[in-house]
């Protein structure tokens, strides 16, 4: 695992992670638009709910969970935050 | 207070007593540690689970549990589709600001968001404006929470509005004043768990009272087709979707009560864990309670207006669907949403006055403030702010939900660009931040007061646009930040 020792390395990593988060937001907005408005004319129903109402609500939530998992478990790295109260 | 339902009162009394006990325990456990850091950010010791829960609980207010599902009852699945944008709130704030704020707080020995703003822009004036904006808008939000919670209490238990205000309102002020941030974080965690249990409980009894999911949905499909259409036959215009993405989605990343959580956690493993847990929890709560609001049609056969408006839908549903002995448990969920928001705001408002204004000026003027005085002032200020809001709530102002949304938009206008550009753009400078925060907030408040809108969009769109323009103008025409500051905020080696 790569160690981030200097402030410059840590801040550069944090900047990269913030960009990943911003891109994840853009991705989720696109999914939200397609999942809800994009499928609103579909006749398909799931448990009495129109497709848009399932994909646009529970679907968006699941995608947000997947995004959070990808960010936090794959793209984000552990860094020593410094200070005497950090482990 | 005699005609109410005693069984509805008892669980709440026990719950509130438990909150106070947690607070006293926390105060006792941490008596020997650095008071200011401990009282205002819990000594940066929060783990992932507590960090997630306290961020979600502070963010989810009583309106998420009362007004929101009432609107879902009225407009249908379009409301959930709109409300679900809030699933972004936790991973955005922690992903964008979480580590940066944590690194900076440790470098600068910062305890508050205002500390970081002061250091970035080297301006006491800007810090004072930021502290003022925080206290002003937080008081508005807290009043809304007090009033919303007490009204719900009165409607469900049969006891008076004032009794509710004293029982949960005064107690939250007491436990926050005693225990500080650490107590807030722990009680928030408990509140978030109780909120989730409350949703499951209410959903179960609503389904039972309505004759089951199949029965409710078949009736709704036949009688309320507008609930199944994203624009709800005109009740959910695109402007609401657009505005909500800004107001309760993207711009919430800059809410000081959320950003301060970036200063409070122990290590990055906890932060990563909190991003995931927070997203799961916030989605569960949003979809769960709003879906319950729609299913409440199985219990309430009239329109929202028949029950006194959307705010009365959930209280009436609780009374009609739940067995009397469980009503007390059901009401704890929404009240937990209310008190966890109040406590989170109260401690940040208190830190704005004590740490950002009083202690800073004392230090600057070489006045020695003894630890016992700091302790007394911190607890007294928390109690005083809470007490003042409590008194305002005794004679509740009208249009309380609008005040809540107004305050949300005001905070976002003031802090969004100042924090985002301030922490990620080298060119951002004092003039830009000053113009953005003061000018943006004044324009936002003026357009709210005048009722001026563009394309019928909420005034947050005007506020956030103007504050960006002002920030860019100030940054291009103002003096650049000094090298020393840039080395701290944007180290290159």
The pLDDT score that the predictor gives to residue B1 is 45
- Calculate what percentage of chain B has a pLDDT beyond 70: 98
Residue B422 confidence (pLDDT) above 90: yes
Which of A14, A48, A50 has the CB atom closest to B99's CB atom? A14
* A53–B91 CB contact, under 8 Å: no
Residues of B in contact with A58 (CB under 8 A): 287
User: Given pLDDT bands bounded at 50, 70 and 90, which one contains residue B398?
Assistant: low
Cα separations in angstroms, B211 against B13, B198, B218, B289: 33, 20, 11, 19
Instruction: Single out the residue of B370, B281, B331 nearest to residue B89, CA to CA.
Output: B281
Lowest mean pLDDT among B31-35, B330-334, B339-343, B369-373: B31-35
Residue B32 confidence (pLDDT) above 70: no
Residues of A in contact with B90 (CB under 8 A): 68
The pLDDT score that the predictor gives to residue B401 is 64
Residue B57 confidence (pLDDT) above 90: no
Residue B200 confidence (pLDDT) above 90: yes
The pLDDT score that the predictor gives to residue B29 is 83
Task: Say whether residue A46 is in contact with chain B using an 8 A CB cutoff.
Answer: no
Residue B288 confidence (pLDDT) above 70: yes
What CATH number belongs to B6-397? 1.20.1730.10
In whole angstroms, give the CA distance from residue B268 to residue B251: 23
Q: How far is CA A65 from the centre of its chain?
A: 7
Which of A36, A53, A78 has the CB atom closest to B269's CB atom? A78
- Shortest distance between the Cα of B43 and any Cα of chain A, in A, equals 8
In whole angstroms, give the CA distance from residue A1 to residue A44: 47
User: Given pLDDT bands bounded at 50, 70 and 90, which one contains residue A87?
Assistant: very low
Helix (H) or strand (E) holding A45: strand A45-46
pLDDT average, residue stretch B161-177 = 89
The pLDDT score that the predictor gives to residue A54 is 97
pLDDT average, residue stretch B49-56 = 91
The pLDDT score that the predictor gives to residue B327 is 85
Tell me which long-range contacts B317-321 makes (C-beta under 8 A, separation of at least 24): B317/B202, B317/B206, B317/B292, B318/B156, B318/B202, B319/B155, B319/B156, B320/B209, B321/B202, B321/B205, B321/B206, B321/B208, B321/B209, B321/B210, B321/B296
User: Given pLDDT bands bounded at 50, 70 and 90, which one contains residue A1?
Assistant: low
pLDDT average, residue stretch B139-159 = 88
pLDDT average, residue stretch B296-301 = 94
- Through-space distance between the first and last CA atoms of chain B, rounded to whole angstroms: 66
Average pLDDT for chain B? 91
Find the length of chain B: 493
* A65–B228 CB contact, under 8 Å: no
The pLDDT score that the predictor gives to residue B100 is 96
Residues of B in contact with A43 (CB under 8 A): none
User: Given pLDDT bands bounded at 50, 70 and 90, which one contains residue B229?
Assistant: very high
Task: Say whether residue A47 is in contact with chain B using an 8 A CB cutoff.
Answer: yes
- Shortest distance between the Cα of A5 and any Cα of chain B, in A, equals 10
- Using CA coordinates, name the residue in chain B closest to A30: B85
Q: What is the 3-state secondary structure (H, E, C) of chain B?
A: CCCCCHHHHHHHHHHHHHHHHHHHHHHHHCCCCCHHHHHHHHHHCECHHHHHHHHHHHHCCHHHHCHHHHHHHHHCHHHHHHHHHHHHHHHHHHHHHHHHHHHHHHHHCCCCHHHHHHHHHCCHHHHHHHHHHHHHHHHHHHHHHHHHHHHHHHHHHCCCHHHHHHHHHHHHHHHHHHHHHHHHHHHHHHHHHHHHHHHHHHHHHHHHHCCCHHHHHHHHHHHCHHHHCCCHHHCCCHHHHHHHHHHHHHHHHHCHHHHCHHHHECCHHHHHHHHHHHHHHHHHHHHHHHHHHHHHHHCCCCCHHHHCCHHHHHHHHHHHHCCHHHHHHHHHHHHHHHHHHHHHHHHHHHHHHHHHHHHHHHHHCCCCCCHHHHHHHHHHHHHHHHHHHHHHHHCCCCCHHHHHHHHHHHHHHHHHHHHHHHHHCCCCCHHHHHHHHHHHHHHHHHHHHHCCCCCCCCCHHHHHHHHHHHHHHHHHHCCCCCHHHHHHHCCCC
Residues of A in contact with B68 (CB under 8 A): none
- Using CA coordinates, name the residue in chain A closest to B218: A48
pLDDT average, residue stretch B230-234 = 92
The ipTM assigned to this model is: 0.94
Residue B104 confidence (pLDDT) above 80: yes
- Interface contacts (A, B; CB < 8 Å): 150
Instruction: Single out the residue of B324, B315, B321, B296 nearest to residue B154, CA to CA.
Output: B315
Lowest mean pLDDT among A41-50, B27-36, B297-306, B375-384: B27-36
- With left for phi above 0 and alpha for psi between -120 and 50, is residue B455 left, alpha or beta? left
pLDDT digits (tens, 9 = 90+) for B446-457: 999 898 999 888
Which of B230, B284, B491 has the CB atom closest to A37's CB atom? B230
In whole angstroms, give the CA distance from residue B342 to residue B177: 12
- Shortest distance between the Cα of B413 and any Cα of chain A, in A, equals 19
């Amino acid at each position: 695992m790569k160690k981030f020792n200097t402030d410059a390395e840590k801040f550069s990593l944090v900047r990269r992670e913030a960009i990943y988060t911003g891109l994840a937001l853009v991705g989720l907005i696109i999914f939200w638009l397609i999942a809800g408005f994009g499928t609103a004319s579909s006749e398909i129903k799931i448990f009495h709910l129109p497709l848009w109402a399932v994909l646009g609500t529970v679907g968006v939530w699941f995608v947000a969970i997947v995004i959070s998992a990808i960010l936090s478990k794959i793209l984000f790295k552990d860094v020593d935050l410094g200070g005497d109260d950090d482990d | 207070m005699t005609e109410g339902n005693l069984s509805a009162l008892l669980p709440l009394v026990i719950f509130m007593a438990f909150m106070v006990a947690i607070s006293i325990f926390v105060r006792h456990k941490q008596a020997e540690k650095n008071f200011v850091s401990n009282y205002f950010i819990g000594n940066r010791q929060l783990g992932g689970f507590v960090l997630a829960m306290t961020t979600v609980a502070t963010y989810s207010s009583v309106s998420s549990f009362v007004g929101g599902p009432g609107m879902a009852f009225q407009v249908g699945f379009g409301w959930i589709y709109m409300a679900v944008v809030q699933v972004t709130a936790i991973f955005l704030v922690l992903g964008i600001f979480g580590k940066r704020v944590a690194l900076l707080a440790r470098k600068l020995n910062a305890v508050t968001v205002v500390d970081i703003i002061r250091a970035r822009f080297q301006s006491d004036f800007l810090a004072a404006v930021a502290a003022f904006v925080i206290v002003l808008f937080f008081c508005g939000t807290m009043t809304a929470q007090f009033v919303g919670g007490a009204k719900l209490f009165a409607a469900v238990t049969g006891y008076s509005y004032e009794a509710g205000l004293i029982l949960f309102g005064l107690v939250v002020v007491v436990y926050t004043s005693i225990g500080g941030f650490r107590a807030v974080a722990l009680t928030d965690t408990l509140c978030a768990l109780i909120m989730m249990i409350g949703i499951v409980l209410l959903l179960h009894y609503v389904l039972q009272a309505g004759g089951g999911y199949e029965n409710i949905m078949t009736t709704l499909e036949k009688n309320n087709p507008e609930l199944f259409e994203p624009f709800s036959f005109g009740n959910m215009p695109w402007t609401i979707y657009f505005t909500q993405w800004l107001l309760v989605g993207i711009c919430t990343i800059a809410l000081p009560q959320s950003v301060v959580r970036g200063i409070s956690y122990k290590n990055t493993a906890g932060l990563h864990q909190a991003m995931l847990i927070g997203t799961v929890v916030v989605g569960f709560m949003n979809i769960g309670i709003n879906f319950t609001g729609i299913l409440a049609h199985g219990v309430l056969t009239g329109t929202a207006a028949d029950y006194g408006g959307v705010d009365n839908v959930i209280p009436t549903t609780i009374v009609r669907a739940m067995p009397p002995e469980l009503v007390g448990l059901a009401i704890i969920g929404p009240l937990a949403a209310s008190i966890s928001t109040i406590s989170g705001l109260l401690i940040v408002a208190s830190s704005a006055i004590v740490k950002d204004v009083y202690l800073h000026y004392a230090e600057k003027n070489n006045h020695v403030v003894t630890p016992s005085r700091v302790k007394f002032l911190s607890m007294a200020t928390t109690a005083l702010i809470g007490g003042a809001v409590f008194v305002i709530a005794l004679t509740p102002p009208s249009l309380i939900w609008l005040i809540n949304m107004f305050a949300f938009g005001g905070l976002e206008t003031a802090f969004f660009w100042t924090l985002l550009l301030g922490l990620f753009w080298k060119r951002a400078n004092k003039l830009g931040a000053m113009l953005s925060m003061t000018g943006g907030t004044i324009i936002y408040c003026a357009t709210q007061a005048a009722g001026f809108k563009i394309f019928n969009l909420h005034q947050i769109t005007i506020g956030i646009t103007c504050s960006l323009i002002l920030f860019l103008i100030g940054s291009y025409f103002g003096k650049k930040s000094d090298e020393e500051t840039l080395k701290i905020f944007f180290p290159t080696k």
